[in-house]
Amino acid sequence: MTEADVDPDTGLSGGVAPPRDNGELVFTAPWQSRLFATTMALRERGLLAWEPFRQALIAHIADHTGSLTSADAYDYWGCWQAALEERLADTGLVAAATLDGRSAELATRPGGHDHPHRGHGHPHLDDG
């Protein structure tokens, strides 16, 4: 492995390195970039130990890719999210029940809406 194979932002390499295109991180949805930024902020503040997170990410990727069929898509950021949630719960930084509750709440919102509908500063077609 060469120095060029190591992701410059995370130090991760190979199949566990974040996806890039022309050297830029690839995010296909806003939540992915927020997830990455949150993870890196926790790391920089010393609240997230990097090696245990890296090991959790490797394990989640292995579990995920090991169960894929040829028609399945690889969900890198879903694995990243699972690894982060695992580490937050394992370290007690955020209770697992809190993570589960917040995930369930966000899952019920329409796509692209990670905020309450009323009184948040911009209109929606169903706002009356």
Strand locations in the chain, DSSP E? 20-21, 24-25
Q: What is the pLDDT of residue 107?
A: 66
Do the Cβ atoms of 25 and 18 come closer than 8 Å?
yes
Q: What is the pLDDT of residue 127?
A: 45
Q: Which residues pair with 97 in a beta bridge?
A: none
pTM, whole model, 2 decimals? 0.73
For the chain, residues with pLDDT lower than 50 are 1-3, 125-128
Q: Which residues pair with 21 in a beta bridge?
A: 24
72/55 Cα distance (integer angstroms): 24
Q: What is the pLDDT of residue 60?
A: 92
Q: What is the pLDDT of residue 13?
A: 85
How remote is the C-alpha of 26 from its chain's centroid? 12
